Amino acid sequence: MPLGTLDRTPPPFFKQGASAFSKLLLFSAMALFLMVADSRFHMTQPLRAVLATALYPVQWLAMQPVQALRAMGDYFISLESAKSESQEASTKLLSQALRASQVEQLTLENKRLRTLLDLREQLKVEGMAAEVLYDAADPYTRKVIISKGMTSGVALGSPVIDESGVLGQVTLVHPLVSEVTLIIDRDLAIPVLNVRTGVRSLAFGDAAGGGGLELRFMGSNTDVLQGDLLTTSGVDGVYPPGLPVARIDRIERRAETAFARIHCIPLALVSGVRHVVVLTPQSSQIAPRPPEAAPVAPAKKGGKS
């Protein structure tokens, strides 16, 4: 047989489909479509809720060894440490009792003044206790997962506190669990009030990731001092007023900029917190804004009567 008649192409051992570049373009387009659809229309939100509900038993089983180790560690706490904590708790209880007696008098005076000035009553703050299950898997955010969800009445945007102050805000609600974004997350902002001066401002999570807060857009000549207490201002319709948030730790005034850099330390235990209280958002108790009246068209001049 002549050599020229032989077929030199390799036999097709595997069935060849579309090229790798075509597959790359197809899957890239699908990924882009899903990202845009999820961002604008929240198409994957029901799927996330179903997956979170289905994976909850697996997460619960995975957390059992950790909870068992925590229980063993708590059991083997030394007696000296327990005595020290008991003494500290007694001292704190006495100071809280003194403060409570003063708060009762101030509350009575506040009620009389509001009645005298015909102001509305302050909104009631309701909440429920929850347990922190674990930290969120995303290493670039500061979020935790708590043990209460939609079935327990947790609403999106609910403030979350611990025994020391504001911890964060509920940013994602599943049927059985919820995701809480901590106040030190760089994407979360909270309106605060300087108790000493009464100046309102916004506290953002430290963008540098140092685990603190930063007061932005504050002038270099603003009256702030190291150690000033910051509380919630209550003007955003989310956080009740008067909740402790942070203390000013460091103030940097630079000549080349008109704004000061103010670093704050959060009062809540943002690392290692185990039990929290989820509050009802203030916006659910505020009457809705009345609809705006339609503008009246001006009468035309020179018209027939």
With contact defined as beta carbons under 8 Å apart, do 276 and 162 qualify?
yes
- Predicted confidence (pLDDT) per residue in 212-260, tens digit: 899 988 888 888 999 999 999 888 888 888 899 999 999 988 878 888 8
In angstroms, the Cα distances linking 246 to 13, 271, 274 are 68, 15, 19
Asked whether residue 187 is domain-assigned, the answer is yes
Mean pLDDT (whole number) for 6-28: 69
Has residue 160 been placed in a domain? Answer: yes
Predicted confidence at residue 178, as pLDDT, reads 94
The pLDDT value recorded for residue 2 is: 56
Q: Is residue 15 part of a domain?
A: no
Residues 269, 142 share a domain: yes
CA atoms within 13 A on the CB side of 209: 4
Q: Say which residues have a Cβ less than 8 Å from residue 277's Cβ, sequence separation at least 6.
A: 127, 128, 129, 130, 160, 161, 162
Does residue 303 lie within any of the structural domains? no
Same domain, 134 and 258: yes
How many domains would you assign to the chain? Answer: 3
CATH number at residue 158: 2.40.10.340
137 with 257, same domain? yes
Considering just the CA atoms, what is the radius of gyration of the chain in Å? 29
172 and 241 fall within a common domain = yes
Last residue of a domain, one of 40, 59, 74: 74
Q: Does residue 154 lie in a domain region?
A: yes
Instruction: Indicate whether 109 belongs to any domain.
Output: yes
pLDDT for residue 255: 78
In SS3 terms, 219-247 reads as: ECCCCCCCCCEEEECCCCCCCCCCCEEEE
pLDDT of residue 296: 59
How far apart are alpha carbons 92 and 89 in whole angstroms? 5
Could you tell me if 161 and 256 lie in one domain? yes
Tell whether 197 and 256 lie within a shared domain.
yes
d(C-alpha 120, C-alpha 114), whole Å: 7
Q: In one letter, which amino acid is 217?
A: F
Cα–Cα distance between 213 and 207 in angstroms, integer? Answer: 9
Of 197, 192, 198, 211, which is closest to residue 263 (Cα–Cα)? 211
Q: What is the pLDDT of residue 305?
A: 45
Least confident range of 28-32, 78-82, 87-91, 155-159? 78-82
Model confidence at 147: pLDDT above 50: yes
pLDDT tens, residue by residue, 102-134: 677 777 777 777 777 766 555 567 889 999 998
**Structural domain contains residue 253:** yes
Q: Determine contact, residues 144/19, Cβ cutoff 8 Å.
A: no
Higher pLDDT, 304 or 286: 286
Ranking 7-16, 48-57, 82-91, 176-185 by mean pLDDT, the lowest is: 7-16
Take residue 5 and report the two structure tokens written for it: 């008649």
The answer as to whether 263 is a domain residue is yes
Let me know whether 153 and 267 are in one domain. yes
Residue 122 DSSP symbol? P
Q: What is the pLDDT of residue 202?
A: 92
Give the pLDDT mean for 88-115.
76
Inform me whether the pLDDT recorded for 1 exceeds 60. no
Give mean pLDDT, residues 286-300: 61
- pLDDT of 93: 80
> Mean pLDDT score of the chain, rounded to an integer?
81
| 279 and 133 within one domain | yes
What residues make up the domain containing 58? Answer: 23-74
pTM here?
A: 0.61
Same structural domain, 144 and 108 = no
Specify whether 182 is located in the same domain as 258: yes
228 and 280, same domain (yes or no)? yes
**Taking 90 as the threshold, does the pLDDT of residue 263 lie above it?**
yes
Is residue 293 very low, low, confident or very high in pLDDT (cuts 50, 70, 90)? low
pLDDT at 167 over 90: yes
* pLDDT of the residue at 264: 94
Instruction: Kindly state whether residues 252 and 160 are assigned to the same domain.
Output: yes
pLDDT at 288: 61
The CB density around residue 249, as the number of other CB atoms within 10 Å, is: 14
